[in-house]
Each structure stands twice: as structure tokens, then as C-alpha cells.
Amino acid sequence: MEIELNGLTFHAFHGVYPEEHVVGGTYTVDLVLDADIERACSSDSLADTLDYAAVCEVVRDEMEQPSALIEHVAARIAHRILRSFTVVHGVEVRLCKHHPPIEGIELEAACVHGTFHRDADTFHRDADTSTC
């Protein structure tokens, strides 16, 4: 079963330009979590599902750590979710940087998108996942 968390919005300090680490910018994160939560369908118990509030806290923690590249942040988010929540077998992450500073160009958002899976005790990224 999948759980989608859409539109998590943060003010964060990612980027390659020094001013981005001072002024910051708006970022959004969308997640699709492939999780083993079928028991919750009949039990109606939080203990049998994925606590998405806890997932949101993990995303917030990772977004608060400045990085040069949003690709790096997206991978960190996915890997931390896979490490932290054993019921999650796969994570699709879309991370968008809104209005990045490109002189003379108005760009609504620059986004990265990737899918990561758990294989035993390791993680891998799908080879066919596109970046936008």
C-alpha cells in the first residue's frame, strides 16, 4: 500500500550561492511511501501503520541541514526514511526549489525526483527515475 504526503513546505538554506545560505528560499517536498501497512486496514490502530507525522519530522530535520544541491537533500531524505521506518520498502521523493536565483530569468521551480528502495540492509535508486 502507498501513503502520499504532498506539499510539505519549508523555508530552507540550500544552494551554491552564498546569499542562498543567508536569505534562504521556499522548498516543497512530495513523498510516495511504499509501506507494509495492510494490518492497519482492519485494526484501525496507529501501531499498525506508518506514523506520517513522524515521517514529516524526519523531512523537516533533513531540510534544516543546509546543502549545496537539492539532489543531495532528496537522497538524504529517502535514505533516512528507509533507515528510520522498517515498514517502508520504497520512497519516491520530489523536492522543488521555488524561484531559484538565476539572473535575468524567472523560474517557478527547479525540481529533482527520485525513487529509492530497500534491498536487505542496503538502499538503491531506480535507474530509470528521471530528474527534472
Task: Tell me the pLDDT tens digit for each residue of 28-83.
Answer: 999 999 999 999 999 999 889 999 999 999 999 999 999 999 999 999 999 999 99
**pLDDT at residue number 123:** 52
Closest CA to 54 of 28, 83, 26, 25: 83
- How many helices (H) and strands (E) the chain has is answered by 3, 5
The CA-CA-CA angle for residues 88, 93, 97, to 5°, reads 150
Give dist(CA 94, CA 114) in Å, integer.
7
Q: What is the mean pLDDT of residues 12-29?
A: 95
By CB neighbour count within 10 A (0-12 exposed, 13-18 middle, 19+ buried), where does 107 fall?
exposed
- CA 114/CA 43 separation, integer angstroms: 32
Query: Which domains are delineated in the chain?
Result: 2-102 (3.30.1130.10)
What pLDDT, on the 0 to 100 scale, is given for residue 128?
42
The pLDDT-based confidence of 12 (bands split at 50, 70, 90) is: very high
What per-residue confidence (pLDDT) applies to 43?
A: 94
Task: Of 4, 2, 26, 34, give the one whose Cα is nearest residue 95.
Answer: 26
Beta carbons within 8 Å of 51's beta carbon, 6+ residues apart: none
pTM: 0.88
